Structure formats: C-alpha cells, structure tokens
Amino acid sequence: MPRPFLSDALPRNVRCAHSIIANLRAFANPNRYSSALHTAPPPPLPQNGTAHPHPHPRISTVNDEEIAHFSRLSKLWWDERGEFTLLHKMNPHRMRFIREKVLEVLREDDRNDDAVALRMRDSNRLLNGLDVLDVGCGGGILSESLARLGANTLAIDASAENIHIASQHAAADPGLSSLSFRHTSAETLLQEESKKRFDIVCSMEVVEHVNNPAAFLRSCAELVKPGGHLFLSTIARTPLSYLLTIVAAEKVFRLVEPGTHTFSKFINPDELIGFFTKPLNEGGRPWISRTYAYGLPTRVEAEVRGIVYVPWRGDWVLAPRATTPLSTQANYLFWIRRPKENV
C-alpha cells in the first residue's frame, strides 16, 4: 500500500487550518488577480495589419478543472435542498435586479414605442421579444426564469452534463418553448455567430470560475447589442468573503462542495468598474465614462448592488443602493449598459 502524503495523514481540522492559512496569503498581495483582469494582452492583429473583425482574445477561457467539478454535481442542480440550495434562494433576487434595471432603462429612454409601453405595463412579460443569452447557465435556474418573462433565451454552458440536465428539466414545461440550450462557451459562440448579438447577456456566478477573466468579459461584452445590458454576479475578494464563502459555506457548514471556490479568483467591484472604464478593444469607447463618490459610476451606465445571505431568515437580501459599497464586501450583482452607437 502506498504511503499517504503527510497532508492526508493529518486530522481534518488540522488540514483545514493549513488550507485557511494558505489562502490567507492572498491578502498579502490583494492586486495579484486584478492585474490579470486589467492587463491581459489584446488579441494580435492579422498579418496584413488590419483591425481584427472580432476584437477579443482568441483563447479559451474554459477551466477544465472547474467544468469537471460542476459536471460531477450536475444531477443535483434541481434539488432545491441540496448542493445548489443557495443559488435557488438567490435566483428571485437576481431576477428582481434584472427587472429593476431593465425597467429603469426603459423609463430613462422614454421611447414612444408600443412594444416598450406594453412591456412596462405588464412586468410579467417584461422581456417579451428580446433576445437574451445566459452564459454558464448550469442547470438552467436563471435561464428558465428569463424565458418565463417572455425572452427568446439561449442558455450556454461549457459542461455537456449541465446542458443535458438543464434541457431535460426545461423540456417538462411546455411554457418554455422560447428557451434553447447549447453546449458551448462564450468565445466559441462569438466566433461562430459573427453577427448575432443579444439585448441582454447574463453570466451569474461564472467569472470567478474561468481562465483569463479579462478575455471572458470581453467575449460577453461583445455579444451585447449597442444599448443592451450585461448582468454579472460574483464575489468580492475580501476577508469577509473568505470567511463566509470558503470557511463557513465550504469548510464548516458544508453548504457547498469544498473546493467550489478559489479565493484568489474573486473579483472586487472596483476592478470590474475599472475594467469597463477602459476601451475593450482598439478604437472602442469605454462603457463607463467616469466615476463619482466611492469610485461608483452613474446608474445610467453601470450599477453594483450587494446581495447578502441572512442565516436566520434562510434567504438572501438584495441590499439597498444606499448601502453600496459597504454591502458589496462578499456577493454582489453588477449591471452595465453597452453604449449606443453614434451617440
């Protein structure tokens, strides 16, 4: 019998302590991951020197280890009391944020459009006729909710097992005929569908699981129509998020599978905001033109909202706007609008 590694021979609580100490080293260099987000090299120009038709990196952002991890758990997606309980509880609050921002922009635009007026009157069909993309859809929890608001929804995931489970679950509901699934990644979809763009692109709890997050964000952004919406949710890289997400949720209470999150891959709100204050491609314009108090942008361009889990309620709370940035020290939602052309 082969000898166990020293770490395997230690009691579990001792191994846990070693793991905590190792992860805390990330605090010593808090900008380690942000530099990867902000300084990823732009895509090379073609040999003839002309601008690239797709201004985003031609590399895969799929992390095979992350995909294998979630593929192993794929059969648990629709167990609302199992591994993905927290996501099921979070979903209504994610949808509330999406509805609020879409309605806010409709009012801001104040267009004399019958279709827009109808969506504003009937919030249950708010996304009626809009093309929506859910990137990293997992088991389809968010995708189904988007389709029920009337959206023509395409849900994609890099895990074939996830797509199988999501498709199987959605097929049982005849009211989800506007929902379709594909086993692919954002960058692959962008290369295949050179002209297809979406009114809304969502990618929830995904960016902290990919390789090269800058390339991933560029791909997601490029898939948004001018004037359209990009919705993200992720986790800030703070001592509080480490204690809540790694120590409490994974190691102590086992609410999620240990190893689901990597602390050094978490992204702070100011890093996302900073990413979009710079042009995403050569000759482009920033999506955020300027920031104000606490480094936050104007709400017509982008918004950050904290989403906080309250254990004694067993539910999440979408934090009030007035609590930003205090409430964004762990989980948060992020919305940004792609600038309109010729404006």
Residue list for the binding site for S-adenosyl-L-methionine = 94, 136, 157, 204
Beta bridge partners of 104: none
Q: What tokens does 47 get?
A: 């040999």
Tokens for 202, please give them: 């969502």
DSSP helix/strand/coil, 85: helix
Q: How many Cα atoms occupy the beta-carbon half-sphere of 43 within 13 Å?
A: 23
Q: Do residues 224 and 230 make contact, with C-beta atoms less than 8 angstroms apart?
A: yes
Residue 335 · residue 312 · CB < 8 Å: no
Which residues make Cβ contacts (< 8 Å) with residue 15, sequence separation at least 6?
7
Q: Where are the beta strands (DSSP E) in the chain?
A: 131-135, 152-157, 179-183, 198-204, 224-235, 302-310, 315-318, 331-337
The binding site for Mg(2+) comprises 205, 208-209
Cβ pair 276, 288 in contact under 8 A: yes
Structure tokens at 176: 């989800």
Write out the two tokens for 257.
């599978």
Q: Could you tell me which residues are annotated as the binding site? A: 94, 136, 157, 204-205, 208-209
Tokens of 51: 């601008």
Q: Which of 187, 158, 159 is nearest to 40 (CA)?
A: 187
User: Closest by alpha carbon to 263, among 10, 21, 89, 17?
Assistant: 21
117, 144, 98, 83 alpha-carbon torsion, rounded to 10°: 170
